[in-house]
Chains A and B, each alone.
Chain A
Amino acid sequence: MTAVIQTQNLSKWYGNVLGLSDVTLQIEPGITGILGPNGAGKSTFLKLITGQIKPNIGRVMIHGQNVWNNYAMFAQIGFCPEQDSFYEELTGWQFLTNLLKLHHFSPEDINAKAEIALDIVELTKDKDRVIRSYSRGMRQRLKVGQAIAHDPNIIILDEPLNGLDPLGRRKIIRLIKEYKGEGRMIVVSSHVLPEIEAMTNRIILIHQGKVFAQGDIHYIRDLIETHPHIVSIKCSQSRLLAEKFIGYDYVLKVHFDLQKKSLLVETNNRDKFFSLLPSLFIDNNIEVEEITSPDDNLQAVFDYLIGK
């Protein structure tokens, strides 16, 4: 798949403070999650790829075109910024329609698109209220609404789920997945790992202005050789199972968790280990209650990569 967004040696400083350092990336169509703690450089990265700020070194290209001062490409890009700021005196409807006018749509199209966007973000009932009277969640939904109203192919969302209640979050996540299904490209940033996990497996991990990892979550996990996989097995004969594991060289450690009454196994080859398990259980008549991978998730990947 050809990359839509490409960055080359992208670096940005704010005076003496490093925002982003030497980021060379290619982002392909689909949903890509930009992950990192606060101050990692996620917003800086998104501002660079949407041309809000200029890189000090390097460049950003979308569909092979330079982004900075290339206003024409915003016909196909929708951006939801992180900051909570609006033209407070306008109503939700006026806000959307006025911004849609800047896309040179016809009046009928503007009205139709605004209705659809408000419907998607569930603000139709409150469209004639001034934005100043909106709650935090409504303001966030309106921000998402203005990013999608003009039907862009590329949607860039900076912390889109901030301030939303759990139901609101689920709806936006579902929307993002629907957009992926329609063939659009979505780049979404967050510091909340379960949110990203719920949307996509493809992540870019940013920390202290640098890209630590890029790719599928599980693929990245497998690459972290310094942190063997941990598998937790709750079963009837844990000691017997432990005895059987000892003979395999890809089982590095076996630990009994007396409190949870489970067996914790460290392995450096997850696939082989999981292939072994069924035969061991059947041959030794072991009743299994539960098998989990406590560290096969984004949190663990994140913690391992940033060295926690």
Chain B
Amino acid sequence: MTQSDTRKFSFFLQSAKDVFVFFFSLAKKVRKTKIFFFISFLPVFMAFVVKFSQIFSLARNIEGIYIFNNMIMMFYMQFLILILALFYGTSVSSEELEGKTLTYLTTRPVSKSAIIIGKYLAYTGLVIIMTTLGVVFSFLVLNLNELYELSLYKILLRDVAVLGLGLMCYTAFFTFVGTILKRSIMFGLVFSFGWENVIQYFPGSTQKFTIVHYLKSLLPSPSTGRFSFLLFRLEPSSTGNSVFMLFLITGVFLGLACILFTFKEYIMED
């Protein structure tokens, strides 16, 4: 790597950082973020309801960690992170086009790739914070009686990491979708709640064509029981392979998004 390449790369990183700071602070102010924060915290409310019910013997005494792993985590993994990644991922490029503010960014000495990377990082960071806070508080509430059990925190860290990886990967994918398609939401909904769900029923290698397969491979195998309706037949990949694939998918789709955004012409309707 020559000196000018190093300079270009550090300039690129600086630009991405500036874009990240801009959009992270902007996203925090927007009302939609507050609403998504509220939705992310609904499992905490659920956890409180369950806990109070157990305290007052209104509900069956099921272990907090069991509820956390089989319901709260599944809620986040099969619903919430998809919704958050879909909205924020497609927003990376779509909101600039819809809001006609793209001009302000593309008339700065900042590469288009840096804009995509910066915005992606800002939004991914934001949704990871949203879900992590929700997951952590749900965990604490549901395991109020066992907070001294250090082994439980390993589970929490694992689950937070899995959700983080999931958000990183899905947001990258939807960033790409938002760059290429005008009606990205419809495609995103069909992908998230159609493809990702249906393909899991298929045995063998077909499952590897979903992102959720790799996420579920990082979690322990589901027990059969009343909550198995939330989980489908899984033939897990190894941990290393799953993490590698998630990073690979993230890198590939983010790269494609950067290339497309750089060379595609966006005509904003007057």
Interface positions of A (Cβ within 8 A of B): 14, 43, 50-54, 69, 71-75, 77-79, 81-83, 85-87, 89-90, 94, 98-99, 101-104, 146
Contact partner of A89 (CB less than 8 A), chosen from B26, B105, B262, is B26
A156 and chain B: residue at smallest CB distance: B107
The A-B contact count (CB < 8 A) is: 76
Which residue of A52, A53, A73, A75 has the most chain B CB atoms within 10 A of its CB atom?
Answer: A52
Is there an interface contact between A101 and B26, defined as CB atoms closer than 8 Å? Answer: no
Please give 12 more A-B residue pairs, beta carbons under 8 A apart, in addition to A71-B109, A83-B103, A101-B22: A43-B270, A74-B110, A75-B109, A77-B107, A82-B270, A83-B268, A83-B270, A86-B101, A87-B101, A102-B15, A102-B110, A104-B109
Instruction: Tell me the chain B residues, 69-107 only, with Cβ under 8 Å from chain A.
Output: 99-101, 103-107
Q: Is the CB of B18 within 8 A of A101?
A: yes
B29 in contact with A90 (CB, 8 Å): yes
How many angstroms from the CA of A15 to the CA of B107 in the assembled complex? 25
Contact A83 B109 (CB under 8 A): no
Contact with B108, one of A71, A85, A86, A90 (Cβ below 8 angstroms): A71
Interface size class of B (residues with CB under 8 A): 20 to 34
User: Is B265 an interface position by the 8 A CB rule?
Assistant: yes
Residues of A contacting B105 in the complex (Cβ-Cβ under 8 angstroms): 102
CA distance A275 to B268 in the complex (A): 53
B263 touches A69 (CB 8 A): yes
Pairwise interchain contact B107-A101, C-beta atoms closer than 8 A = no
Cβ A74 vs Cβ B263 within 8 A:
no
B99 touching A102, Cβ below 8 Å: no
Chain A nearest CB, measured from B107 CB (Å): 4
Q: Which residues of B contact A94 (CB under 8 A)?
A: 25
Chain A residues near B126: list those with CB within 8 A: none
The reply to whether B106 and A51 contact each other, CB–CB distance below 8 Å, is yes
The A-contacting residues of B in range 137-186, CB under 8 angstroms, are none
A101→B101 CA distance, assembly (Å): 16
Bound complex: CA A121 to CA B14 (Å): 29
Q: Are B267 and A53 in contact (CB under 8 A)?
A: yes
Inter-subunit contact B22/A85 (CB<8 Å): no
Q: A69-B263, A83-B268 are in contact. Are A99 and B101 (CB under 8 A)?
A: no
Give chain B nearest CB distance to A283 CB in angstroms.
59
Kindly provide the distance from the CB of B68 to the nearest chain A CB, expressed in whole angstroms: 35
Contact partner of B110 (CB less than 8 A), chosen from A14, A71, A82, A89, is A71
Complex CA gap A52/B112 in Å reads: 12
B257 interface hit (Cβ, 8 Å): no
A50–B109 Cα distance when bound, in Å, is: 12
Interchain nearest-CB distance for A77 vs B (Å): 7
A71-B29 in contact (CB<8A): no
B106 x A103 contact (CB < 8 A):
no
Cβ–Cβ contact B109 & A102, under 8 A: yes
Q: How far is the CB of A59 from chain B (nearest CB, A)?
A: 15
* Alpha-carbon distance between A101 and B20 when the two chains are bound, in angstroms: 11
In the complex, what residues of B have CB within 8 A of residue A69's CB? 112, 262-263
B166 → chain A closest CB, angstroms? 28
**Which residue on chain B has the smallest CB distance to residue A84?**
B100
The 6 sampled A-B contact pairs (Cβ below 8 Å) are A52-B106, A81-B103, A98-B26, A99-B108, A101-B21, A146-B104
In the A-B complex, the 6 residue pairs with the smallest Cβ-Cβ separation, listed nearest first, are: A85-B100, A102-B108, A75-B109, A79-B107, A81-B103, A98-B22
* A74-B25 Cα distance, complex, nearest whole Å: 24
On chain B, the residues within 8 Å of A82 by CB distance are 270
Contact B265 A53 (CB under 8 A): yes
Q: Are B107 and A74 in contact (CB under 8 A)?
A: yes
Rounded to whole Å, the gap between the CB of A183 and the closest CB of chain B is 21
| Chain B min CB distance to A104 (Å) | 6
Report the nearest A residue to B102, measured CB to CB: A52
Shortest CB-to-CB span from A45 to chain B, Å, is 14
**Interface: B130 (CB within 8 A):** no
Give per-residue flags for B1-45: 1 if the beta carbon is below 8 A from chain A beta carbons, else 0.
000000000010011001101100110011000000000000000
B26 cross-chain contacts in A, Cβ below 8 A: 87, 89-90, 98
Q: Contact partner of A71 among B99, B101, B104, B112, CB < 8 A? A: B112
A73 and B111 CA atoms in complex are apart in Å by: 11
Known contacts A83-B270, A85-B100: does B111 contact A71 (CB below 8 Å)? yes
The interface residues of chain A lying within 8 Å CB-to-CB of B268 are 83
State which of A77, A81, A89, A102 has its C-beta within 8 Å of the C-beta of B22: A102
A50, B107: Cβ atoms under 8 Å? yes
Mask of B109-128 contacts with A, CB within 8 angstroms, 1/0:
11110000000000000000
> Shortest distance in angstroms between B114's beta carbon and chain A's nearest beta carbon?
9
**Closest Cβ–Cβ distance, residue B66 to chain A (whole Å):** 42
Residues of B within 8 A of A75 (CB): 109
Residues of B within 8 A of A86 (CB): 101
Complex CA distance for A85 and B105, rounded to whole angstroms: 13
Chain B residue numbers with a CB within 8 Å of A54 are 265
| Chain B residues within 8 Å of A101, by CB | 18, 21-22
CB distance from B121 to the nearest CB of A (A): 15
Return A258 CB to nearest CB of chain B, in Å.
Answer: 48
